[in-house]
Each structure stands twice: as structure tokens, then as C-alpha cells.
Structure 1
Amino acid sequence: MGTLRGDLAGYGEKRALGQLIHIRARVVDEDGAPVPGAVVEAWHCNASGRYKHPNDTDHAPLDPNFYGAARLVAGDSGLVELRTIKPGAYPVPDTAGWWRPPHVHFSVWGRVWLSRLVTQMFFPGEPLNEADVILNAIRDPQARNRCIATLTPTAKGPQHALLYDYQIVVRGRGATPKLP
């Protein structure tokens, strides 16, 4: 089984609004060995900060060309790839000015189906990361940094997109922190 890809950035010729990005997420165990066959779900809001979900009643516009979610199976190297757009920030309802920074949710089932990791990937250099209640609930700075992707320099990236690498350690030493 090779690398599997998901496309959240559009349908056919039509592309979602926003900065095109590629995410390479690698699922590994605590020893750094790949977890082939891991089921990875990813979802995030559109560039305006609105989820494609009936419970999101924010007034930000929906993007008809943005799918919003993908389910993939990791290849032999533990890798899944997403083509998507960078999510927007959004205000958290019923809070005093708390805005969520751009982030992507991941749900990962590894070798054991009873063991599910739900976490969030954040983008480096985002000013809202410093004030995010969820990200900063992780007190250990090293653990918190494991939730932040790496922007990988490329000449232009695939289709002129930004490329982010993210490692998901399903459990054990150096595990990726669990986040809602």
C-alpha cells in the first residue's frame, strides 16, 4: 500500500477559497516506526472560519467547494497526505473574545481499534497560538510543540501550495497530546 491522499480543497475544476496547502501526516509508534493501516480522519473549518457542519451556526460564509473532512488509511510508511486550504481563525461562541487559531483536527486509530487518538495540528507562527486555551492547556512545552506542524521549505510546493509536515505518535513516549 502506498501513500494515500485526500483532497478537501475542491470538487473537480472548482477549488475552495483560501491558501492551498498540503499536509503530510506520518503516523508512528513511540519508537518512530510507521503504523501502516492506521485510519486517519481529518477535518477543519474553511478559510472564513466556518465548519461544514449543521451545528456550526456562525455567520461566516460556507464555501460550496470546500469538503471539510477526509478519512484515509496510512500507507506502508505511515504517511497520509491532504490537499486542502489553510483553515481560518474563528471566534468561540459565548466567550469573552477568545478566537481559535487555524488548526486541523485529527482522529487516529492505530494498530488497536480500541485505542483512538484525537488531537489538533496547529500552524507555526500564528499569533493566536499564544492565547489559545486548548493548545496552552498542554503545560509541557515539548508536548505542546508536538502539536505544531513544520512548514517545509519548497521551491513552490505542489500546485504552488505551502507544505506542512506533521508527525502523530499514537501512544507511549513522546505521544502526540490528546486534544478535543
Structure 2
Amino acid sequence: MHALVRLLDPATETTGPITGFGPIGDSEHVLTHQCAGTPIGERIVVSGQVLDAGGRPITRNLVEIWQANSAGRYAAPADHYDAPLDPNFTGTGRCLTDTNGWYRFTTIMPGSHRSDLRCDAWRPPHIHFSIMGTTFNQRLITQMYFPGDPLLREDSVVQAAPEPQRSHLISRLDHAIGENGWARGYRFDIVLPDVPDPPAEHGPHTGASADAWQTPPQTIGPFFAPALLRSHWHNSAPENDPTAIELTGTIYDGARKPVPYAMIETWQPDPGATSNGHFTRTSTGSSGHYRLRTARPRRTPTSADAAPHIALSLFTSGLNDRVITRVYLADDPSGNATDPVLAAVSADRRHTLLAHPEPSSPTTRYRFDITLQGNDETVFFLV
């Protein structure tokens, strides 16, 4: 693998998004009340604060979770484990943090899930967390585990986290969070990477306890679709926008095989400040192919030398942390010639950042394949 390229002008990546898509329903954070019946299993409450690295609470921020049911099976088509499904449990939830950065979910204790790596291996009970952060470079996906589980010692995903930070993936029993006689409580605080200038609305510094650590990222796994995908989230451009473009392509591994069940997110701020920017989220599904629609990128006032581009994140099974790249349009040679990021990339790899017009629709559809390893590996950035 190539080393990450340090991003010299990260202006795009140090802006939003914050809250994701659309309004959040009243029951989305109560996974025990989402269906007509009562789900099977032990009820638990999971709550905590979302903080930046300075200990400041991150407010009104989108937190999403997904998990297996009490039998260890996800309500996802990609999960072929033969444990029973629970018709009254979706395993997915969303909420916004409050003015002090707190989130809260009521759910069911997940069961152990059979690992795809070995038929005799079992993953410890866990809950996947997705946190948007206030900027694109704060974006985090991680997993929460439960204290005292013997499977933690032999789980390859847990052990892949740096040893000093591993304990920060494990929740702690907290009776104050639970509901007496009805549900046990677990506290799980989440600390995101810092940004150069945290927005003032984060609130005052609340203490130095968070300065020494950050919640480690964890692999997204293949079962995120029910929680993180909606039919319209791949499209951030208004339907009547004649300048919108479609971005399409395939994700490849080092053997040039398509990568299934990868998740792609793109972001570009609105240079005219007439909207909240353009954020998309889509998946490669089982085919390794993705398609999304967004606004045609334009120059931004904060980075006058930068060519129009789109920031892109890729999450997939086996990657403990996402990879970050940029998409430049190949039919803008004069703009690309002045871009400091492209200039910092070696000439023989620069082409991996260019999206090329499709012959069938040369002004609105572009192809951008991503290669995770190998001789033609896409350039990924250190932000």
C-alpha cells in the first residue's frame, strides 16, 4: 500500500455536514417501540456524551446505531447467519445530541454474532455507532462493547484497535442511566478528533478528561444498510438543477475484484452559501458498484487556488478507519493545473483523482473508480 498523502489545503474537509438527512422521528431512538410488538431480549439503555478532543460537548449532532438482535442476527439481507429474525426489532436507531452533547437509545442487548472469518469464532455482543461530527474530517464510525465479555480477548476487530485506546471501546454499567426494574444502563462517551477552530456553539471547555484519548474507529461491517441508507440519500442536488452531475464507479480491492457492501459519503460546501452544502451517502451493495448525484463542484472563496472538487470518504469491512480522497473533474484541465493538492501528488498517481466524463452523457455523468490497493491504488489523504 502507498502511504497517505498529507492534505496541504484541507478547507473542504474542515467544513460540515452536521445533522445528516431530514427530521428524526420521535421513536427512532427507542428501538423497543418501533414495531407493533415487543422485541425479544433484555432491555438496555445506552447513553453518553459526544465530545471533541478538548472535552467540549458536540451539540445537535447526528448519532446513528445498528446492531444484531438478541439471537445475534442483523435485520439485513447481507446477514446469512441462521439465527432467527425478530419481527419486532429493526436493530437501527437515530437521534440528535442535546445541548450538552448527550445522546440516549433504548434497545435490546445484542447477541453474539458468528464471525465470517472462522466458523468456530464468535464476535462479542456490540453496537455499531455512526457520528457525523461538525466537520467532514471528524466523521467517525466505531463499535461499542460490553464490560466483562470473555470474547473481547479473542476478537480480531477489538484487538485491531491500539492497545492504549482499546478500553475506550467498552461501555460501563451505569445504574443512573438505566430504568429501575425495567432496563439496565450502560454509559458510552464518544470523543471525536479535534478540528483547528471548534465552533463556539460547542460550549465551554468542560475539563481535561478527554484530552488524552480519542474513541478508536472500528470497521463498518457489511450490515449497515438498514441503518445508514435511505432511497434518496444518494442525491443531494435539486431535481431541477441543470448543472447537477452523476458520479458512478466501482470499488476494487488489490486483486482487482469489486468490493461489496462498501459505503461512500461525499461532501462539498456550497460556495454561494445558499444551502447547507451537498452531502451524499450510498453503498456498493453486493456488486461493488455505486452511483450518486450531486451538484457540480465550484471554486470556494476560502480556497481560491483549489480546483473544483468533491471530498469523498470510503468505509468497508476490514478497514478499521475510513479512507479519504478527492474527486476532480478531468474535463477541467485549466482549473486542475492550479490546484495545490494535485500539484503535491506525484504525476504518475494524479490520474487516480480524476473523474472522467462518460461518452453517453459527457457533461453530466462522470466515472470515478476507486482502487484500495495495488499498482493503481487511488491516492488517499491524511487530513
Residue 144 of structure 2 aligns with an amino acid whose one-letter code is: M
Deviations 1:50-92 (A, max 9, x none): 0011101111100011121112111111111000000000111
Counterpart selection for 2:90 from 67, 71, 74:
67
Counterpart selection for 1:26 from 45, 49, 54:
49
Residue 157 of structure 1 aligns with an amino acid whose one-letter code is: E
Residue 116 of structure 1 aligns with an amino acid whose one-letter code is: R
Counterpart selection for 2:188 from 152, 160, 166:
166
Greater shift, 151-160 or 73-82, is seen at 151-160
Residue 169 of structure 1 aligns with an amino acid whose one-letter code is: V
Aligned to 1:53: 76
The structural deviation recorded for 1:110 is 1.0
Aligned to 2:171: 149
SS of 1:56's partner is coil
Deviations 1:103-161 (A, max 9, x none): 000010111145310000000011111111110112323x0000000101359725611
The structural deviation recorded for 1:7 is 1.0
Counterpart selection for 1:175 from 214, 224, 235:
214
Aligned to 1:121: 144
Larger radius of gyration: 2
Distance in 1 between residues matched to 2:49 and 2:85, nearest whole Å: 30
The structural deviation recorded for 1:11 is 3.5
Q: How many residues align?
A: 176
Distance in 2 between residues matched to 1:27 and 1:13, nearest whole Å: 31
Q: Is residue 10–residue 67 contact of structure 1 (8 Å, CA) maintained in 2?
A: no
* Percent of residue pairs identical: 35
Residue 166 of structure 1 aligns with an amino acid whose one-letter code is: F
Aligned to 1:132: 155
Q: Is residue 9–residue 67 contact of structure 1 (8 Å, CA) maintained in 2?
A: no
Distance in 1 between residues matched to 2:48 and 2:68, nearest whole Å: 18
SS of 2:118's partner is coil
Distance in 1 between residues matched to 2:215 and 2:117, nearest whole Å: 29
Residue 118 of structure 1 aligns with an amino acid whose one-letter code is: I
Q: Is residue 140–residue 192 contact of structure 2 (8 Å, CA) maintained in 1?
A: yes
Aligned to 2:122: 99
Counterpart selection for 1:16 from 35, 39, 55:
39
Distance in 2 between residues matched to 1:123 and 1:21, nearest whole Å: 11
Residue 170 of structure 2 aligns with an amino acid whose one-letter code is: I
Distance in 2 between residues matched to 1:154 and 1:59, nearest whole Å: 36
Q: Is residue 41–residue 106 contact of structure 1 (8 Å, CA) maintained in 2?
A: yes
Q: Is residue 69–residue 91 contact of structure 2 (8 Å, CA) maintained in 1?
A: yes
Structure showing greater relative contact order (alpha-carbon pairs closer than 8 Å, 6 or more residues apart): 1
Task: Point out where structure 1 has 5 or more consecutive residues left out of the alignment.
Answer: none
Distance in 2 between residues matched to 1:96 and 1:55, nearest whole Å: 17
Q: Is residue 25–residue 81 contact of structure 1 (8 Å, CA) maintained in 2?
A: yes
Aligned to 2:349: none
Distance in 1 between residues matched to 2:162 and 2:192, nearest whole Å: 19
Distance in 1 between residues matched to 2:137 and 2:96, nearest whole Å: 17
Greater shift, 90-99 or 51-60, is seen at 90-99
The structural deviation recorded for 1:47 is 0.3
What is the TM-score when the length of structure 1 is the normalising length? 0.90
The alpha-carbon distance between structure 1 residues 114 and 155, as it changes in their structure 2 partners (threshold 3 A), is: closer
Alignment of 1:70-89 (within 5 A): 70-89=93-112
Task: Point out where structure 2 has 5 or more consecutive residues left out of the alignment.
Answer: 1-25, 195-210, 220-383
SS of 2:143's partner is strand
